[in-house]
Copies of this chain bind each other. A is one copy, B any other.
Amino acid sequence: MSSDKLADFVSVNSWQIRKDFSYFGDFGTRGVGYNIENLARQIKKILNLDAVHKTALVGVGNLGSAVLAYPGFGIYGFCITAAFDSDPAKVGRKMNSVSIEDISQLNTLGKREVDLAIIAVPEQYAQEVADALVKAGIKGILNFSPRRINVPKKVKVITIDIATDLARLPYYIPSS
């Protein structure tokens, strides 16, 4: 497939596609274009997505349940292999074939080859959960709480704050 067609898919220009790819290598064939299958494989390798990443979920409330039920993780090689909550009524139950464990069991993650975690707890507990995750050897955290969490810089945190994202919209709409 040509860079022109790829560009259409993501609404950018063809030269942006080619230039960006060129920073990482020569993925295409001149006169022909890009082989999609090979391209996907190369990009996955660059993004370190070519192996399965075991992921832990902390907080099985509404948001956590939505994450557990989310069907879109597989294509990137993510697998949620552990879920934690502090509510005794939830601990021991299963959701989407994942057993919910007590929050005190976070320290077992290191031995279970889990390297990523998703924080979906009320914001006031976000920092202490993050501390426990770091202590357990987690390397990356997806943080759904609107609170800034402090971690050693060897640990990567990506925060999704729903309210802040929503707050970007009004700027683009004419004030009524």
- Interface residue from B47, B142, B166, B168 paired with A118 (Cβ < 8 Å): B166
Q: Is A81 an interface residue (CB 8 A)?
A: no
Q: Is A146 an interface residue (CB 8 A)?
A: yes
Q: Is A160 an interface residue (CB 8 A)?
A: yes
> Is chain A's interface secondary structure helix, strand, loop, or mixed overall?
mixed
* B interface footprint on A115-129 (CB within 8 Å = 1, 0 otherwise): 110100001000000
In the complex where A63-B63, A66-B63, A170-B140 touch, is A51 in contact with B175 (Cβ < 8 A)? Answer: yes
A69 to B: closest C-beta gap in Å: 6
Question: Which residues of B have CB within 8 Å of A20?
Answer: none
Q: Is A62 an interface residue (CB 8 A)?
A: yes
Query: What are 19 pairs between A and B in contact, CB < 8 Å?
Result: A48-B171, A49-B170, A53-B170, A62-B62, A70-B163, A72-B123, A72-B161, A72-B162, A72-B163, A76-B166, A78-B166, A116-B170, A118-B166, A140-B173, A141-B169, A158-B165, A158-B168, A160-B160, A160-B165
